[in-house]
């Protein structure tokens, strides 16, 4: 626990938010330099809350935080919105996929453990969703890459799948992933593998999976 007050700034992406008391929110922000933080946004549930936009899920912002000595929750004191990804909010398939990606990162990331790789992965995926509709393979590619960055990777285990496909899923650009041909049997295998991993290794389920 810090013994002095501290002000710090960081870029971050809002993974989720939940109400606190009558007008506040506790917001999970995945920051570039400090990892996943639980942030107190005061008075943002009021209609004129000045930091309301920065507390909304799937917002990318440049944040300023204040941590008081003896407190576990930094307070957001200001910042600027970098993007709300308006394109992905134009359709249910895109916004549900974005929430799914945020949940995957949230459940694979311990608090206050920086990961530039996971931050860049999430940001690039949201930017891709903002520009185009998701393909079937994007979800699997995102989760497998997030697992790899979290230390649970399957990249070196082909599982009997085509090596070119496996390389593209793990290393290809999002447009390259979108060009992969459909393969229902591979989709079913990866679906079962991912579900089993989260259930047996982490003891959680992906609540958003039912919507994507």
Q: What are phi and psi of 30, to 5 degrees?
A: -95, 105
Q: Which of 131, 142, 137 is nearest to 178 (CA)?
A: 137
Q: What is the distance between the alpha carbons of residues 33 and 97, in angstroms, rounded to a whole number?
A: 25
Task: Give, as one character, the DSSP assignment of residue 111.
Answer: B
The helix (run of H) or strand (run of E) holding residue 198 is helix 184-200
Cβ atoms of residues 5 and 41 within 8 Å = no
Q: Cβ(193)–Cβ(159) under 8 Å? A: yes
Question: pTM for the complete prediction?
Answer: 0.94
Question: Counting beta carbons within 10 angstroms of the beta carbon of residue 37, is it exposed (0 to 12), middle (13 to 18) or buried (19 or more)?
Answer: buried
Token pair, residue 22, equals 């009558």
Annotate 7-49 with DSSP letters as a single string: EEEEEEEEEEEEEETTTEEEEEEEETTTEEEEEEETTTTSTT-
pLDDT in tens, the chain (212 residues): 445 689 999 999 999 999 888 888 999 999 999 999 999 999 888 877 789 999 999 999 999 999 988 787 899 999 999 999 999 988 899 999 999 999 999 999 999 999 999 999 999 999 999 998 888 899 999 999 999 999 998 888 878 889 999 999 999 999 999 999 999 999 999 999 999 999 999 999 999 999 99
What are the b/e assignments for 72-99, b being 16+ CB within 10 Å? eebbbeebeebebbebbeeeeebbbbbb
Residue whose pair of structure tokens reads 């999430």 in the numeric block: 122
Give residue 3's pLDDT. 55
Q: Is 16 helix (H, G, I), strand (E, B) or coil?
A: strand
Which distant-in-sequence residues (6+ apart) come within 8 Å of 19 by Cβ?
25, 26, 45
Spatial CA neighbour of 30 closest among 127, 101, 131, 97: 101
Q: What is the pLDDT of residue 39?
A: 96
- Beta strand ranges found along 32-171 (DSSP E): 35-41, 60-67, 75-83
What 3-state class would DSSP assign to 147? Answer: helix
| Contact (Cβ atoms closer than 8 angstroms) between residue 187 and residue 136 | yes
Residue with tokens 């002000």: 7
């Amino acid at each position: 626990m810090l013994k002095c007050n501290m002000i710090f700034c960081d870029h971050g992406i809002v993974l989720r938010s939940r109400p606190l008391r009558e007008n506040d929110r506790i917001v999970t922000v995945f920051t570039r330099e400090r990892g996943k933080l639980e942030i107190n946004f005061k008075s943002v549930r009021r209609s004129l809350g000045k930091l309301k936009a920065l507390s909304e899920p799937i917002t990318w912002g440049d944040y300023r935080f204040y941590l008081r000595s003896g407190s576990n929750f930094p307070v957001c004191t200001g910042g600027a919105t970098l993007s709300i990804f308006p394109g992905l909010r134009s359709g249910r398939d895109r916004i549900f996929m974005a929430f799914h990606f945020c949940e995957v990162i949230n459940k694979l990331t311990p608090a206050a453990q920086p990961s530039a790789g996971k931050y860049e992965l999430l940001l690039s995926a949201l930017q891709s969703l903002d520009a185009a509709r998701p393909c079937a393979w994007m979800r699997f590619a995102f989760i497998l890459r997030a697992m790899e960055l979290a230390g649970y990777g399957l990249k070196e285990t082909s599982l009997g799948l085509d090596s070119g496909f496996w390389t593209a899923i793990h290393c290809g650009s999002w447009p390259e992933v979108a060009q992969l041909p459909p393969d229902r049997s591979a989709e079913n295998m990866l679906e079962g593998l991912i579900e089993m991993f989260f259930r047996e290794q982490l003891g959680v389920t992906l609540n958003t999976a039912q919507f994507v």
